[in-house]
Amino acid sequence: MFRPNRLKARVLAGERSLGTWLQSGAPTFAEMAAAAGFDFFIIDQEHGLGSLEEAVAMMRAASGGEATVVVRVPSSEPVYLKRLVDAGVEGVLVPMVESAEQARAIVAACRFPPRGTRGNAWDITRSSSYGFAGDYYGRADDNLLIIAQVETATAVENAAEIAAVDGIDVVFIGPTDLSGSIGLPGQTGAPEVEALIARAVEAVRTTGKPLASVPRIGRNWQQVFDDGFVIVATGSEIFYYRTAAQALVEDWRRYRGIEAKNDKAAGGYAG
């Protein structure tokens, strides 16, 4: 439903914002993320599960809180972008943006004419509260947050041009795929990767556009903020559950080992 974009307002004010990833497609976690007090969360539909309908269910689940809802789309394909914007998403994160031309096409898909090519059915879509937000058409373009993800060596070369595109609000540097693009998969703290990140940061800063990223090897989320990034997305519900479950099972196995030893020492059945 249409509401002022709190994350975009924070970005424009130069304020830092912390968020998390949601990859399960489950509305319960969207509700929890909003209740926890995150500034935003990213519904990951590039690597995570979920359809348009599930994204809408997650938006509804989060509507009682103040977290801004961002969707990382599977690709820059314009049809899905247009459907998401009509569905009321507050921000889009587009992966693998490698050129200014691609960035312009992304912006066009998300904006009404004359600034873009988004189809005009605003008075019946969820994005305008089904037409109850009578001033939606005039406010929609500037309320949406559009984030371009720079995550290949080619994208780094074109980072300044991508960032300079009118309508690209934030450039998100993705260290994991960036490392893979130069043959160092997963080595996000490697000197070669750090050098590319530094080049991308410098290129984007020449345009005045803000930066976003994730923690990487050697840089936790606090340090990423200290490096001048204004948006940092850390962890995911799957990551946090996996690590907690793994720790619990390891504790259980240690406990069972002690129990088995005690049983053997007592001459009892060790199971």
Which positions are annotated as active-site residues?
47
The rounded Cα 12 to chain-centroid distance in angstroms is 18
Q: Helix/strand/coil (H, E, C) string of the chain?
A: CCCCCHHHHHHHCCCCEEEEEECCCCHHHHHHHHHHCCCEEEEECCCCCCCHHHHHHHHHHHCCCCCEEEEECCCCCHHHHHHHHHHCCCEEEECCCCCHHHHHHHHHHHCCCCCCCCCCCHHHCHHHCCCCCCCHHHHHHHHCEEEEEECCHHHHHCHHHHHCCCCCCEEEECHHHHHHHCCCCCCCCCHHHHHHHHHHHHHHHCCCCCEEECCECCECHHHHHHCCCCEEEEEEHHHHHHHHHHHHHHHHHHHHHHHHHHHHHCCCCCC
Q: Are 50 and 59 in contact (CB under 8 A)?
A: no
* 243 exposure class (CB count in 10 Å sphere: 0-12, 13-18, 19+): exposed
Evaluate whether 168 touches 162 at the Cβ level (below 8 Å): yes
